[in-house]
Structure 1
């Protein structure tokens, strides 16, 4: 039904918000989440609180003409070294979807990285753990970050934070062995494109194929949920969430 992770030219994407939204509509999505980067990632023109507030106004204006499709407000929020999130809590409260990702010190000691990620996914604002290993498998490849995947996935299952199945061809993160362990841990999943251009929004099929291959139950994929259920889940730290057994 939708995509929880895409970028615009407000940060490091290549196209305006409106073009990304219209492409999602053309693909048949019912909703999509705009998740530009947070301030610390300066190389990606991360959004300061002031710029993010302006972006919220832009999204609100676009949604006035796009019904029934809805562009959700969101952010890809850096996980700081101690596991705290790189944005004002008041602003995170206002957003529909918060993806939390590690973008710095990817070679951190495994125990420290585990603590960092566990702290982040337990934050009540965190909805989705983005590209959890940080690996790159093509071009200038990058190895996986080292952490206790079972501990991180257990924290995700306990807190209701979804594990992203990142569909970018150079990421395909998490790798299959970890994806299967995440299934065993009972976590929720979000199959996302991490698109930085309109033509990348159809990469979602790559993540869907990996989900099917690794036995991800469709009812645990948040992209399959109707919008009211999705929003109830992302706001469950602030309002009661619906019974997950009633997803349709």
Structure 2
């Protein structure tokens, strides 16, 4: 009995993404998986045996080794090593809260700056036991991230509707990570925002503006009637390939009071290079009476497994589960989102 080679390659990509491996390295395994996906087990074995597979575009030395070992009925060595590494928890603490998380309100697909199709993100979210996932690709102002125009976003809504129609046990929420423009306006038409289930409002530019201006900017975005979540609040980067970046400065108390008044959740961003907001601001948001959303901000399927980072930080800061919207069942979440 052979191990499914396509599944082995896809799982390797998942573990590499979870470990924030370089995109080119992940792409090699996802490309190889796509290359062999339509081949029957017998055809795949025949091509591996007679040398044709090695000469196939998209199959390299390492991916061929994985396929060969899978055909031979083994768990490929490379996959076994990644599984062993992945068995170690990503974060210390937060297990009880993690078990209560039902979904994720911040993720990206290849429609903007994510690496894979929407279907791959959905399949992985389901495999991780999620009940729902919000697809929140970027808005048009963020050209570096291939932000979606209103026309492209409208096309994406049709894709989301089709996927939901084909599933009765998982909900894909139509959303956007909308850029907070310099004046606090949201970077999408009001008519388009009204069609969405989830709006994550985030600042991506002019992060060093004066504190008073940044405060006004953020509060205007929070008070927009379509805003649901305030994303990666300070914009900081604490590690990673993009280097480090300090926090934006603003009147956090005023910002969080506005979030509490408007019912906008403060995101606890689970990306290890962000860890945003810092603990002192989580405490201020708690004191202000805010709701929270623990999200992955995933740009690849393996990154959907980042929730342990956010759960550990939330638990360490005493955030009660009932104030975390991503612990809510989809019916309660829908009431809060007014969808």
* In structure 2, C-alpha distance between the alignment counterparts of 1:105 and 1:231, rounded to whole Å: 33
2:194 equivalent in structure 1: 93
When the two structures are superposed, what TM-score results if normalisation uses the length of structure 2?
0.69
Q: Which runs of 4+ in 1 moved over 6 A?
A: none
For residues 143-184 of structure 1, give each alpha carbon's deviation from its aligned partner in whole angstroms, at most 9, with x where no partner exists: 000001000000000110000000000001000111111111
1:146 partnered with 2:216? no
1:164 equivalent in structure 2: 267
Match of 2:183 among 77, 82, 91: 82
Aligned pairs for 1:118-157 (under 5 A) are: 118-139=219-240, 140-157=243-260
* In structure 2, C-alpha distance between the alignment counterparts of 1:37 and 1:75, rounded to whole Å: 6
RMSD (Å), alpha carbons? 0.8
* In structure 2, C-alpha distance between the alignment counterparts of 1:26 and 1:65, rounded to whole Å: 17
* In structure 2, C-alpha distance between the alignment counterparts of 1:120 and 1:98, rounded to whole Å: 11
1:243 equivalent in structure 2: none
Specify the SS of the correspondent of 1:171: coil
1:201 partnered with 2:304? yes
Aligned pairs for 1:170-185 (under 5 A) are: 170-185=273-288
Structure 2: gaps (5+ residues): 1-101
When the two structures are superposed, what TM-score results if normalisation uses the length of structure 1?
0.94
Name the structure with the higher helix share: 2
* In structure 1, C-alpha distance between the alignment counterparts of 2:273 and 2:291, rounded to whole Å: 23
Shift of 1:234: 1.3
* In structure 1, C-alpha distance between the alignment counterparts of 2:332 and 2:223, rounded to whole Å: 20
Structure 1: gaps (5+ residues): 237-248
For structure 1, which segment, 59-68 or 16-25, has the greater mean C-alpha deviation from structure 2 after superposition? 59-68
* In structure 2, C-alpha distance between the alignment counterparts of 1:21 and 1:122, rounded to whole Å: 31
Match of 2:149 among 17, 26, 48: 48
For residues 30-54 of structure 1, give each alpha carbon's deviation from its aligned partner in whole angstroms, at most 9, with x where no partner exists: 1110000000000000000000000
1:242 equivalent in structure 2: none
* In structure 1, C-alpha distance between the alignment counterparts of 2:305 and 2:321, rounded to whole Å: 19
2:109 equivalent in structure 1: 8
Shift of 1:66: 2.1
